Amino acid sequence: MTTGTQGWHADSALLSSYLAGDLDAVTGASVEQHVSRCATCRATVGRLVEPQLLEQTWTGIRDVVERPALPFAVRLARRCGLSEPTAVLLASAASLRGAWLVGAFLSLSFATLAAYASGGTALAPFLLAAPLAPVLGVAAAYGPRQDPLEALIATAPYGRTRLILLRTIGVLVSVLPVTVLLGLAIPGPPWLAAAWLGPALALVPVLLALAGFVGPRTAAAVVSLLWSGVVLGSTRALAPTWPVEAAQQGVYLGLAVVACAVIAIRAGADRQPGVAL
């Protein structure tokens, strides 16, 4: 093969060997350089390659270029076995994207730091933030303002209710483990690290039930205010752990049951077909 000669073209045999990977490294690189600059040889290569293989390769390249990248949390979930279609649905939720998760993590970290610095006497910041992080995450995962595709979601076979529940689980799974770990750093009884789960798991169905009437944003504001009232009100005369003690956990359980009942009743009575949330 002669290189650097104007008008020279590689013959079919050489190009076939190149395509089969039979050339040595130097000759192969040389042919590749030439093909990248010579339209005639590229056309010959096109004829020598199986059209099916060419199409497959091109589709693979387009797949990488056109397919949007999944957020880190969703990629992580994919590695843990989350199905690819579910990952696509989760990736479009604002509260499962990096910026929101980092924000939630930082807020919880500061709240934990404050509780730690006070030696366990000021638990309010943590007890305030820990249950509200999933509540706000769920509220940010759906609704007309957060998801401009509401009109399509409402008429898709997957269903709005199913999508909201999927995203709710996605938010809980992404926020709860980190919060439990941060809770372990707080001075005080060990059960405190998990005790906030009671109000968190109760406030989420309360949010979903309320959002059916007033939308997720207003519902999130109402739930946040109520929970803030409980936590801040208890700091005046009650023990720092009062909002998450056993008696209150029973109230939260009752609230969760009532909220689920409201959702179920609305599912039967709603004027929009197939919509429970």
Residues that bind other proteins (CB under 8 A): 59, 62-63, 65-68, 83-85, 88-89, 92, 144, 147-159, 163, 271-274
Minimum CB separation from other proteins for residue 144, in Å? 8
Minimum CB separation from other proteins for residue 128, in Å? 31
Minimum CB separation from other proteins for residue 165, in Å? 14
CA dihedral 178, 184, 188, 190 (to 10 degrees): 110
**134 versus 216: smaller Cβ distance to other proteins:** 216
**21 versus 268: smaller Cβ distance to other proteins:** 268
Q: Buried b vs exposed e over 49-74: b needs ≥16 C-beta within 10 Å? A: eeeeeeeeeeeeeeeeeeeeebbebb
As a whole number of angstroms, the distance between CA 37 and CA 93 comes to 45
Classify residue 272 by its DSSP letter: S
**26 versus 64: smaller Cβ distance to other proteins:** 64
**4 versus 148: smaller Cβ distance to other proteins:** 148
**21 versus 85: smaller Cβ distance to other proteins:** 85
Q: Is 26 left (phi over 0), alpha (psi -120 to 50) or beta?
A: alpha
17: exposed, middle or buried (Cβ count in 10 Å: 0-12, 13-18, 19+): middle
CA dihedral 264, 268, 273, 277 (to 10 degrees): -20
Minimum CB separation from other proteins for residue 264, in Å? 13
Minimum CB separation from other proteins for residue 180, in Å? 31
Minimum CB separation from other proteins for residue 156, in Å? 4
272: exposed, middle or buried (Cβ count in 10 Å: 0-12, 13-18, 19+): exposed
**71 versus 240: smaller Cβ distance to other proteins:** 71
